[in-house]
Structure 1
């Protein structure tokens, strides 16, 4: 008998997913990135219904277990497609190359057919009563399911690696496009992935401990509650998040992967790696020097850096220079990405006010073009090696 509290929490989870999925689907016409997220949440909802179906709809449990098994292999592809879409600088759409990510669904469907072929009494013994059943198909079924679960775990690890790598590349690309990256870095995905990994590890620990020592470290109630919170957070942030790079004149992430990997430091970025990055560019060194002079003059005379929403696209329109040429000039000639270049000007503008000590650090940060105190502190220490208060003390003594 399923724990009533677990059953209630599961019903709440399924209800929350039932509300979120239609909202996501309704927005797919404007942004197809919402579709993979809707599929992921729908798959999670179907998997979460296991206790509901087993308790309230036992007669349908045979069909449920057969068709819910392939759903497990939809989770990784759909989550990856969502991350891919949200970090892309072009509208996401499903193509033939994406089909390879769902290759495990095909053998999973074969396992589903094997489950459907089980007699009802054998199915009940295996999936409900959890006892041994004698049937020629049982051994093959268990072996197939074990192999599929191992493949699924490997696929999860690979997907997690791809997501972490993609997010890292994406955040580096943001610095080539924006001067402020708040609400664009997708840090909430990091926390969700970390939390989900912790839940998974705790679940494995519980399984191990309860099997060997009859000691439950992480009961089903806590597990379902955490799953509910994770799925709610994913739906909440997913409904609000928009791809930051779409609409900006940025480099394609796919073409920039090799470039970003080679950026070990600013010195490397300004040396051989940077030459390889722009080896097809028609921009000469003389042109690059003129562009550097022009954008420096614009920054100094018109103080564009005070605009907290300043982007590469805005600077390109203001100077009538190709955004690719500006980015190449910043990287090759000045050895900086757009983010660090603009914030360098902002820090220089903030220094006199820090020394004067007539305004709060937050007011100085906002006046200089930063969106938050934390980002100002981080940029200030990165450039000067000290915090604003330490900088003020050093200059007061001098």
Structure 2
């Protein structure tokens, strides 16, 4: 076994261990919302794939060669479970309701079923045919062998297309989810799922290296790189996936509400114009609600609550949350996130200009719960950092 082959085996063993550990932790974890169940599917499929990679390190032993060959065939459909499982997990994290799998979700598993059928034909073929297709065997290219070979190639291409489609879908989902977060929360730290974006970037890099290797033989060093990326990817998902809470879960609540039709809340990801076109609110209604919101800010300084959400604001002004959201987006012209942060920044400006309080203290006094979010929002609103604004204000005094 060469040096890089040994490192590949070590990486596969590490990825298998991480996946197995994650499966055990997920199996013991209370999951009333069903969000983490797709992760069990993902890690189970990946653990099997990594186990096959470890078996491939012992082809010189007849027993392992036969076992590895059978396991390799069975693992092919497992690849087709990874992307759908990841998608269902992210969908659960970004949904506003507790979702159950429906009949329409069966479409996500069609590639897996097709792959399982094709690989079953190969698995139950004579050993000589299996060895000729995926091993070192030799023989005439019969119609049966050509057919199965073409099916396996088709599955590989289908897997590549599947991954690309789901990557695009995941990026779109997260983008719309972040937009929706700003309609609901004044602070989005810990909810933005930045780690998933970095994981997708790593996945894309891995695919760009792996796909050509299916058709072109590269050096062992280049073939080793995807193994390293894969370990990092599994580590990312094992660590962050287990600790990430659903973005829309209510503070202090143990469960998300259940959708009445058990379907995804797509309205949460629509544009404002589409969302409110059937609303019963009139212009007078939105003006009245806007005055209530302004009073809550001016008189009660509700924006100073670091945990303020759309639901809490709606409860304070005794108006339904969707009507408050419509008023903010349609009448006032700002998302909840931007509206509350504008009030916080207006509150922070005189503190920066007329006091010697530290920027960190002013950050928390103004309702922000992190220095980074304060700096980002302040610069977006004023074009200056809080420190630069303080220096500018004091120089004018």
**Which range moved further: 199-208 or 288-297?**
199-208
Q: How does 1:42-81 map to 2 (within 5 A)?
A: 42-55=44-57, 57-81=64-88
> Could you tell me how far 1:134 is from its partner in structure 2?
3.0
* Counterpart pick for 1:388 among 386, 389, 396: 386
TM-score (norm 2): 0.88
**After superposition, what is the alpha-carbon deviation per residue over 1:95-119, rounded to whole angstroms, capped at 9, x for unaligned?**
1010011111222122112211333
Equivalent in the alignment of 2:14: 12
In structure 2, relative to structure 1, the CA distance for the partners of 1:257 and 1:290 (3 Å cut) is: same
The residue number in structure 1 matching 2:161 is 154
- The question of whether the paired residues in 1 share the 8 Å contact of 2:119 and 2:152 is answered with no
Which sections of structure 2, spanning at least 5 residues, go unmatched?
Answer: 59-63
Query: Shift in Å at residue 135 of structure 1?
Result: 5.1
The two structures have a TM-score, normalised by structure 1, of 0.88
Task: Between 27-36 and 231-240, report the one with greater CA deviation.
Answer: 27-36
- Alignment length (residue pairs): 379
| Alpha-carbon distance in structure 2 between the residues aligned to 1:17 and 1:153 | 22
Q: Distance in 2 between matches of 1:199 and 1:10?
A: 15
Q: 1:205 to 1:352 in 2, by over 3 A?
A: farther
Which deviates more from structure 2 when the two are superposed, residues 92-101 or residues 144-153? 144-153
Do the aligned partners of residues 207 and 215 (structure 1) sit closer, same or farther apart at CA in structure 2, a change above 3 Å counting? farther
Q: Distance in 2 between matches of 1:206 and 1:64?
A: 21
User: In 1, Cα distance between the equivalents of 2:139 and 2:297?
Assistant: 77
Measure how far apart 1:54 and its partner are: 3.0
* Among 27, 30, 40, the residue aligned to 2:29: 27
1:164 aligns with 2:171: yes
Please name the residue that 1:329 is paired with: 327
Find the residue that maps to 1:176 and give its secondary structure.
helix
SS of corresponding position for 1:232: helix
CA–CA distance in structure 1, aligned partners of residues 78 and 359 of structure 2: 51
Mind listing any 5+ residue stretches in structure 1 that lack a counterpart?
Answer: 261-272
User: SS of the counterpart of 1:179?
Assistant: coil
Per-residue CA distance 1:46-85 (angstroms, 9 max, x = gap): 1112222234533323431232111111112111111111
CA-atom RMSD in angstroms: 2.4
Deviations 1:1-34 (A, max 9, x none): 5733322332222122111112223336423110
C-alpha distance in structure 2 between counterparts of 1:58 and 1:28, whole Å: 40
Deviation at 1:94, TM superposition (A): 0.9
CA contact (8 A) 1:205 1:217 kept: no
> Which residues in structure 2 correspond to 1:271-286 (within 5 Å)?
273=273, 276-286=274-284
CA distance in 1, matches of 2:340, 2:158: 47
Structure 2 counterpart of 1:257: 269
Give the superposition deviation at 1:206.
6.1
Check 1:247–1:373 CA distance in 2 against 1; reply closer, same or farther (3 A cut): closer
Aligned to 1:87: 94
